[in-house]
Amino acid sequence: MSPMQKVGWFGKSMLGLGYAFLYLPIVILVLFSFNASRISTVWSGFSFKWYVALFNDESMLKAAWVSLKVAFTSATVSVILATLAAMVLTRFRPFRGKTMFAALITAPLVMPEVVTALSLLLMFTTVFGMFGVEAKGMLSIFLAHVTFTMAFVTVVLSSRLAELDKSLEEAAMDLGANRVKVFFVITLPIIMPALVSGWLLAFTLSLDDVVIASFVSGPSATTLPMKIFSTVRLGPNPKINALASLLVMLVAQAAVVGWYIMHRQERRRLRDIQLALKEG
């Protein structure tokens, strides 16, 4: 008997309601992005005109490009810094200030975004002003997003490194490998799925952020969520439906790519283990 048969009709119904609650709004959004009517709640025919209007909106495309650049670069830097922080938290011997270091790294997880945004704004205004650099722009958004996404990635990587069998690294060092080689040859391939998951999480958080970007951005750099928020405040806009549908497709493709990379890494790891057992 399969697990679904054991659950029964009630469990299947609850599962169906859960999926409907999560994905039905997205399906409706995508369908109405092809609505010919300007009124979002009235269907008047199938049309691509809102997608055409979206791609002709230079301000929206510019904001999308800014968000994609910031999300990609901040997610990449966050993964690098979070990997170093996670290694310190899980692989280094206890040292004075380790608890404080862990608290500072994970502080953005529990701190309200408004407080984080305000503190970053004050810091950027003070520090950048000393060097004559624009306090509110692309650089400030990038640094702010690295600051708050790094905490999430650090938690993901720390949990994975804590579960990693240290005997594998110790065996490699006993065979003459230094710590750098052990990390790139042993540790990195094993934690690669967690790295991909952390990067996708950081990318999504950066792409979705409104509060922090609203504080630290300037007229020279407007992110896509800020542009969407300002547009929706003036009333429903069918172009937003088209834009949201494209974002859903982008996130879905990124999730599929991430799943493929993690699946391939897992298959490679299992194959290496089987080969090692056969040789042993």
Residue 8 in domain = no
Does residue 258 share a domain with residue 150? no
Q: List 35's β-bridge partners, or say none.
A: 46
Residue 202 in domain = yes
Question: Over 80: is that where the pLDDT of 266 sits?
Answer: no
Does residue 252 share a domain with residue 140? no
Question: Over 90: is that where the pLDDT of 152 sits?
Answer: yes
- What is the domain extent for residue 122? 61-235
DSSP summary character for residue 236: -
Residue 247 in domain = yes
List pLDDT tens digits, range 1-27. 555 556 678 888 888 899 899 889 888
**Looking at the 3D structure of the chain, how many domains does it have?**
2
Assign residue 153 the CATH number of its domain: 1.10.3720.10
Cβ-proximal residues to 200 (8 Å cutoff; 6+ apart), any chain:
75, 254, 255, 258
Does residue 195 share a domain with residue 129? yes
Cβ-proximal residues to 214 (8 Å cutoff; 6+ apart), any chain:
117, 226
Does residue 250 share a domain with residue 121? no
List own/partner pairs for 174-183 with CB under 8 A and 24 or more apart: 183/87
Does residue 255 share a domain with residue 150? no
Query: Band of the pLDDT at 44, cuts 50, 70, 90?
Result: confident
Question: Over 70: is that where the pLDDT of 276 sits?
Answer: no
Residue 113 in domain = yes
